[in-house]
Amino acid sequence: MEICAVGIDLAKNVFQVHGADKHGRPALKRTFSRSKVLVFFSKLPPCLIGMEACSSSHHWARELSALGHEVKLMPPQYVKPYVKTNKNDAADAEAICEALVRPTMRFVEIKNPDQQVLLLIHRERDGAIKERTALINRLRATLAEFGFSIPVGPSRMQHWFRNEYGSVEHRCSELLKRHVIKMRQRLESLEQHIASLDNEINQSSRDSEACTRLETVPGIGRLTASALVASVGEGRTFKSGRQLAAWLGLVPKQHSSGGKQRLQGISKRGDGYLRRMLIHGARAVIRHMNPKRDTTAWLMSLSARAHKNVVIVAMANKLARIAWALLRKGGCYQQAMV
């Protein structure tokens, strides 16, 4: 029996495989250890293979594509409705195989190793910043217990330690002084780590022609451009900028029934990190509006009839659409002036 479609339920060591023929009838149900997966598929004639987009899925997609198979990744939430029985590996693999051949299924673009590494650097930087914030808050709380009030913010706190801490240090016990020194050393180490990650992102952005073009858009800076290129690539997965904005969760969530349209707040689906970057970029555009730009008139008109947060999201939506157009169609951004 010819196998036309295969669903693979990925795991660390045990992989469940479900195959179907051209009529959708089950043709294969097997369990493989990690070392046997590529051996089996190297002997299988080229076919369509589907997996959920999860940890290690891009790696396996690249490996199986190198063997001549057509590999597609799907968001797990789109596969879940096809699970017919209780959840187990076999049922999950069958659901993946079933969802794979649906004509309306949406797929995730397979990332190359450079994209994955760059995204991991972004995630590491984001995590390090959160660690730095937590450490600063603990340091401020520690000294607040002994009556020392430290200004909010990393730079203002560093200024306080340089100029004011020396005058009150004599009020601290030796144990407290040693504890503060250790916390400040950890903070300095985190700052150096974040700076090194920034250098890596800067270097990759300078070497990327797509990042250079994206950075010409007001509201899209170095970090946002780098994250967009790493996440979206050339934007081939999306048919339009509207789809990219919807994937990023920058469109209203809908709960409509019986012909009544009910629109709520933004859906917040997709990549939260990218959405946050675009929101910050939109805030910067609104804060520093250039009266000569055509976008300024649109923002002023929208601000007159909508809440400021709605205006910010609308601007972030527009930035996502512009970014898609530049990535998918090429060319350079040209500002419309009045």
- Dump pLDDT digits (tens) for 134-175: 999 999 999 999 989 888 888 899 999 999 898 888 888 999
The reply to whether 231 and 321 lie within a common domain is: yes
Give the residue carrying structure tokens 């994206």: 214
pLDDT in tens, 263-273: 788 888 888 99
Same domain, yes or no: 216 and 292: yes
Report the residue count for the chain: 338
Answer whether residue 256 is part of any domain.
Answer: yes
For the chain, the domain total comes to: 3
pTM of the predicted protein model: 0.86
Helix, strand or coil, per DSSP, at residue 309: helix
- Are 280 and 316 within 8 A, CB to CB? no
Q: β-strand 14-20 against 5-9: which pairing, if any?
A: antiparallel
- The domain that holds 60 is classified in CATH as 3.30.420.140
Rg (CA), the chain: 25
Residues 214 and 269 in one domain: yes
202 within some domain: yes
Of 207, 236, 268, the position where a domain reaches its end is 207
pLDDT in tens, 274-321: 999 999 999 999 998 888 787 888 899 999 999 999 999 999 999 999
Going by C-beta distance under 8 Å and a sequence separation of 6 or more, which residues neighbour residue 45? 2, 3
Q: How many other CB atoms are found less than 10 A from the CB of residue 210?
A: 20
Rounded Cα–Cα distance for residues 270 and 159 (Å) = 39
Q: What are the two backbone dihedrals, phi and then psi, of residue 257, each rounded to the nearest 5 degrees?
A: -165, 150
Distance of alpha carbon 173 from alpha carbon 162, whole angstroms: 19
255 half-sphere exposure, CB direction, 13 A CA radius: 4
156 and 89 in a common domain? no
Instruction: Identify the pLDDT of residue 295.
Output: 85
Average pLDDT of span 67-76: 95
Task: Give residue 185's domain range.
Answer: 113-207
Give yes or no: residues 231 and 309 share one domain. Answer: yes
In a domain, 337, yes or no: no
Token pair listed for 337: 């002036």
SS3 286: helix
